[in-house]
Amino acid sequence: MSGIQSFKYKRRKITVVFWNNNVWFKAKEIREILGYKESLTRFTGLLWDEENKLFKPKANLITEKGLYVLTYHKGLKPKAREKAQELYDFVQEEVMPVFEAYIRSWL
């Protein structure tokens, strides 16, 4: 199962990729929403976790769990963590129901 859908979040676009029964987000867009000023490489380095695969390097995609991890990550300033929590709430309320409906349509 795979698909791509765009969502509007606070006048910004969030590209969501439904792939391999997971929800993925474009790292660059998430970084910009959170106001993270460091390089994309440094930003995604916050998510490097070989065991849990929170980030897909070649595609620059972050998993839903990776987005959740950012809400508590010490590498982000408090304001960015607050933005990450707001974004995660949006994902739970707006994105995940679409993903769940998408999965049900394939069953």
Query: Which DSSP string corresponds to 34-87?
Result: HT--S-HHHHHHTT--TTT--EEGGGTEEEHHHHHHHTT-TTS-HHHHHHHHHH
The answer to whether residue 75 scores a pLDDT higher than 80 is no
Angstrom distance (rounded) from CA 102 to CA 82:
29
pLDDT band of 9, cuts 50, 70, 90: very high
Mean pLDDT of 2-17: 90
Q: What is the pLDDT of residue 76?
A: 79
Q: How many domains does the chain have?
A: 1
| Higher pLDDT among residues 96 and 58, named by residue | 96
- Name the helix (H) or strand (E) containing 32: helix 27-34
Task: Write out the residue range of the structural domain in which residue 72 sits.
Answer: 2-106
Q: What is the pLDDT of residue 10?
A: 93
Cβ neighbour number for residue 74 with a 10 Å cutoff? 7
Q: What is the pLDDT of residue 103?
A: 76
Q: What is the pLDDT of residues 12-66, one digit of tens each?
A: 999 998 887 788 899 889 888 888 877 777 777 777 665 566 667 677 888 888 8
| Higher pLDDT among residues 72 and 83, named by residue | 83
